[in-house]
Structure 1
């Protein structure tokens, strides 16, 4: 069986595109195809296989995982996480993104280390990489789950929570949009963003996807895509 058939059994490469992470993809305001780094990578991989690309657009990371695991999409773009790796084979990361905390301007919190305390409430996006990470790492604070990453800050304000956790760029956009908010210095995690497919696609498919990602990093494609889409604060991951 050819790699094109393995990856695209329907004759089209169905790529799950999560528009809930503004660093990687965004909806086209005119109602057309989504745009972003993950869209560019999916298009390039389809060209490599010699098949057309079809975008399966979702608005959360959890839905992106679900459509790939469920067979509605052939590839996806995910933060590497051990729980997701039960069903998805990941490439090495192609982009590193920072996870950060946001608080109200008058919050007493000044450092990331002060967040995980009894009585504190932290809002995360349901099923996101930082939700999975903080679910494992947070020992004393309480996690509250917003329906999606773009909804985190509004949910945080509605629930009168203490902290909002999210991708740093999303928090910066929300702080600018709403005012009266600030980010805590630094980051609480580095999100390693990778491509992935069902493990059942087999080792040859996984190896080909991994090779593709390394070539896209080393050849400058990822860096150019970040620059083209004016993405700041995300960095090209080092070679595997």
Structure 2
């Protein structure tokens, strides 16, 4: 690096040039320290903008539909932080449910999301290291025959799940007597629960606590039937960006950005990531 000459107080002009030189050098060093190299940036945001895919109703993704400046959600905040660190603009793209978020990444219409790193989804998108684990639980309506997590499987009971979700696949295979009913979005599930059309709704507790606040009389049952491993996901074929993404994840876990994002989103039911 070229040496910066010493500043002599004899003239204001050299002093001014020296200060401007320091500022320019600092800006250059900051850019080198934060912005992704071209290859990684091209892999993670090939259009020049990081398209962050979310769905409403989940603190892990997007708490509720809102104007861009008012959006809250772990994926929203971490996605925007990634874009800033890379030195590119971000765009938050909203889909009705998580299955369509994953499908958008498959088609290359979106670049980034955070979702459950299940084995099935790992066949469709590439995952980085988990950010946080989340308890899987049950939201029961008043007077539900399902009074605890252990009583999920019983004749005559109906449990709702999101269409195309990991819960649909896992509970569909696990529950032998309970009927599984799928819903296209979380609003539809909440309305069915309040109308008594289903006994309970099952997904991660981050979503369940959010639903409970908008569904009077319902409650999130104690205990859990599993855990989700929430991890950043990118489209297949973009492995050149993975090292940068992994480094970014370690940074947000250590520097408090992840903690701030979970608090801002009101995310509950979290666990330490599995080793």
TM range (shorter): 0.7 to 0.9
- 2:110: which partner in 1? 73
**Once the 2 structures are TM-superposed, how far is the Cα of residue 216 of structure 1 from its aligned partner?**
1.3
Which range is displaced more, 151-160 or 76-85?
Answer: 151-160
More helix by share: 2
Q: Say if 1:24 and 1:9 are closer, same or farther in 2 by CA, change over 3 A.
A: closer
Size of the aligned set, in residue pairs, is 238
- 1:121: which partner in 2? 158
Query: In 2, Cα distance between the equivalents of 1:30 and 1:10?
Result: 23
What TM-score results when the alignment is normalised by the length of structure 1? 0.87
State whether structure 2 residue 251 is matched by structure 1 residue 208. no
Which stretches in structure 1 are left out of the alignment for 5+ residues?
A: none
C-alpha RMSD of the superposition: 2.4
Which range is displaced more, 66-75 or 228-237?
Answer: 228-237
- 2:226: which partner in 1? 189
Residue number among 66, 76, 101 corresponding to 1:64 in the alignment: 101
What TM-score results when the alignment is normalised by the length of structure 2? 0.77
Q: Once the two structures are superposed, what CA deviation does each residue of 1:200-228 show, in whole Å capped at 9, x if it has no partner?
A: 112x3233322221221122221122234
Instruction: Check whether the contact 2:99–2:164 (CA below 8 A) recurs between aligned residues.
Output: yes
State whether structure 2 residue 150 is matched by structure 1 residue 132. no
Q: Say if 1:229 and 1:163 are closer, same or farther in 2 by CA, change over 3 A.
A: closer
More strand by share: 1
Query: In 2, Cα distance between the equivalents of 1:139 and 1:211?
Result: 43
Query: In 1, Cα distance between the equivalents of 2:145 and 2:70?
Result: 43
Map 1:78-227 onto structure 2 (within 5 A).
Answer: 78-158=115-195, 160-202=197-239, 204-227=240-263
